[in-house]
Structure 1
Amino acid sequence: MMGDIGSGANYPSLAGKSVFITGGGSGIGESLVEHFCAQDSRVAFVDVAEEPSRHLVERIQAKGHPSPHFIACDLRDIERLRAAITEAAELNGPIRVLCNNAGNDDRHRTEDVTVAYWDDRIAVNLRHQFFAAQAVRQQMKEAGGGSIINFGSITWMVGDPDCPAYVASKAAITGLTRALAREFGPERIRVNCMIPGWVMTERQIKLWLTPAGERQIAERQCLPDRLYPSDISRMALFLGADDSRMCSSQHFIVDGGWV
């Protein structure tokens, strides 16, 4: 069951709130954009893939929800990311919720990793999360607080063997979350880490959901149902809303009981 956006909880504190989402054009990010828009939040999102991102905007407009603002951005370009955050704040007001969602879990073997590839994986999966948090901090402080939701992965907890640079990045995000939560806390900025399990995005289904993968899910998850982007988005809504006002420096695992 993929879940209907309208069937979840409604958070009045998210209405009109400025939300910035990275990697919002597809997969979990696409679901985040849809769910926050359905809460009447003022959403801006960045993605490197322009065509699916523009289609997403059109689809949300057709549903009658507040239209999200798409900004084309390669997150390896930190100056472009900073400019996108400034643009979003100018349009929607000070950013109060940051979803550091973007990442890429391309498979690789240790013997094939070059220095250039390693540095690129860190840039794609880790570096932008820090600089996005850095960029929104002053806005959140002046607005009286905010919520930063970093996105990790259970891969580092289970020690997936086929993507060591990705696993290292995702492990680092947990440490980054705890450091920023301690530093930003006096400004009423909450910093938490969302840790998804194996989420059935279109990409995951197409590339890796083999019969062996199906058996692995059946063996490892406590719950028999498949995990979908909407399951992650619903937790993100809670972490963005005032309902989680005293939650910080934590990781929130949504994995069907895998770890």
Structure 2
Amino acid sequence: MTTAIATYPSLRDRVVLITGGGSGIGAAITRRLAEQHAKVAFIDIADGPSNDLVAELKDQGHTVHYEHCDLKDIEALRRSIGTIREALGPITILINNAAHDERHATPEVTPEYFDDRIAVNLRHQFFAAQAVLPDMQAAGGGSIVNFGSTSWMVGQGGMPIYTAAKSAILGLTRSLARDYGKFNIRVNAVAPGWIMTERQVSLWLTPESEKELMEHQCLKRKLVPDDMARVALFFASDESGACTNQQYVADGGWV
């Protein structure tokens, strides 16, 4: 399979914010946007891989900025976004990627755990968008890409709060798209299928689960983080200028 990737001139010098951009799908998006010569900032909680990624990309001559932040802390999120704005300029592309698909059984869920899972998987997407929308309005437009999941579409069990949060991202996307379209701000959602990040492979991939995956997907190969980065680039760029209020399923044809 070719590793060539499209070039999107509209991404050059744009200030992009990626949540959870230090590993997995987020790191792939960070790398690909840096290669497009965007000014890339990302927020993450894991310093080790995040600092390694910054060093790698700066060695290649790219502009990249990392902010350590626990996205459950909304005031810290707002401060991080303010620091990014001061360092790179107004943010006109937001990739709401961060999430955590921790398994949980319904009888064991407490109100506190419920709130924690919503905070990890949904709440920060709204508040990140809220923080950057004024930048986009002042600039005359922008793009928000919210990452959801196909887990709720395929009826996956074992993590009901995660799947509830991910389904809610579609409602968030459509509401923001309606409210901010008049400012030329586009809001779309991407729903990945099972993507072979290091975490997914180490925790969940077994011969049995791989067999199930190949039976359900139309494409008979494992999807990797870079597959999602390519989709994110398109929706971030002006090439998708007529696209908003949409959810794009990128799952190899399972749904």
CA distance in structure 1 between the aligned counterparts of 2:175 and 2:63, rounded to whole angstroms: 34
Q: CA deviation at 1:61?
A: 2.1
1:149-228 to 2 correspondences below 5 Å: 149-228=145-224
Aligned residues: 255
3-state DSSP of counterpart to 1:239:
helix
Give the counterpart letter for 1:19 in structure 2.
V
Distance 2:63 2:140 in 1: 25
Aligned partners of 1:238 and 1:136: how far apart in 2? 20
What are the superposed Cα offsets for residues 195-224 of structure 1, whole Å, 9 maximum, x if unpaired? 100000000000000111101111110011
Q: Which residue matches 1:96? A: 92
Look up the SS of the partner of 1:257 in the other structure: coil
Report runs of 4+ in structure 1 exceeding 3 Å deviation: none
What's the offset of the Cα at 1:174?
Answer: 0.4
SS in structure 2 opposite 1:248? coil
Residue in structure 1 matching 2:114, options 113, 118, 139: 118
Deviation of 1:232 (Å): 0.4
TM-score by length of structure 2 reads 0.98
Residue in structure 2 matched with residue 229 of structure 1 by the alignment: 225
Tell me which residue corresponds to 1:146: 142
How far does residue 159 in structure 1 lie from its aligned partner after superposition?
Answer: 1.4
CA contact (8 A) 1:125 1:166 kept: yes
Q: How does 1:119-134 map to 2 (within 5 A)?
A: 119-134=115-130
Identity of aligned residues (%): 53
* Structure 2 segments unaligned to the other structure (5+ residues): none
How big is the alpha-carbon RMSD for the aligned residues of Structure 1 and Structure 2? 0.9
Matches within 5 A, 1:18-29: 18-29=15-26
**Residues 142-189 of structure 1: CA deviation (Å, up to 9, x unaligned):** 001000000100001011111100000000000110001000110111
CA deviation string 1:81-110 (max 9, x = no partner): 111111111221111110000000011110
> TM-score under structure 1 normalisation?
0.97
